[in-house]
Amino acid sequence: MRYINPGLAEFLDVEDGTTVKGTKFNPDNGVALYQPKANEGIDITLETAPTHFYAKFDVYIPPWSEMSDGIMAEVGFYSNHSGYTGFYGWQLRKYSSDLDPQVIIGNSSSYDKYVEYKVGGALKFDSVNSFWMHFKARSASAADGEYQVYMNGEKIMENTQKHIYMDAISKLVIYATPNYGKCYLSNIIMSFDEEISLKKKYRPFRWEML
């Protein structure tokens, strides 16, 4: 299964999302979105449990001075696996003097964090940042799930031996709220068991789900 959205809230399975226009938010096609309901985005039904999850997306991150503490955006999936029910994926959160792209694994209680301070590093403020991530599900006999996350072409997170479950997925999560800073998502590509290239430049001009 593959899902593509250039940045149009109208192509989500949830109300209250908004499409914004401007090449500042999406230089490729001028549209981006925010969607303020947690753990919502696209309703899905998978006939078999996948092994791999890929996502590639762009995020406009506002100036530091325009942000307040809170979870600003999430991209990933929601699983109903017993004991690890919850969101799995990438999260952008501001807390105190840090802006943290981080990985959440079920229940939002077991996470690995890459701290990006307000100066230095690969992250760009008042600009569009590109992310790529890959999750591999754990096997039936061992906690051998793994993930990798890249930001603007730089690897920022990698880990193994994780309890990543993909056998009860009900949603693709596409979340961004303007409450803590105007953070907008665009050029979203998500897939199960179909690799998304880290280096290839995709231009998703339309909505698509295959």
- pLDDT at residue 36 tops 90: yes
Q: Write down all domains in the chain, each with its CATH number in brackets.
A: 2-193 (2.60.120.200)
Query: What is the per-residue pLDDT for 202?
Result: 65
Please name which of 192, 197, 199 lies closest in space to residue 153, comparing C-alpha atoms. 199
Can you tell me the distance from the alpha carbon of 105 to that of 13, in angstroms, rounded to the nearest whole number? 23
Q: Could you identify the residue written with the tokens 């590093």?
A: 121
Q: How confident is the model at residue 110 (pLDDT cuts 50, 70, 90)?
A: low
Percentage of residues in the chain having pLDDT higher than 90: 65
Q: How far is CA 36 from the centre of its chain?
A: 14
Q: How confident is the model at residue 109 (pLDDT cuts 50, 70, 90)?
A: low
- pLDDT at residue 116 tops 80: no
162-203 residue pLDDT tens = 989 999 999 999 999 988 988 999 999 999 999 999 887 766
Sign of the C-alpha dihedral, residues 47, 56, 184, 109? positive
41-84 residue pLDDT tens = 999 999 999 999 999 999 999 998 899 999 999 999 999 988 88
Query: What is the per-residue pLDDT for 203?
Result: 62
Query: What is the per-residue pLDDT for 204?
Result: 59
What does the pLDDT average to over 14-37?
A: 95
Percentage of residues in the chain having pLDDT higher than 70: 90
Q: Could you identify the residue written with the tokens 């998502």?
A: 185
Instruction: Please state the pTM of the whole predicted model.
Output: 0.92
- pLDDT at residue 19 tops 60: yes
- pLDDT at residue 97 tops 80: no
Query: What is the per-residue pLDDT for 98?
Result: 80
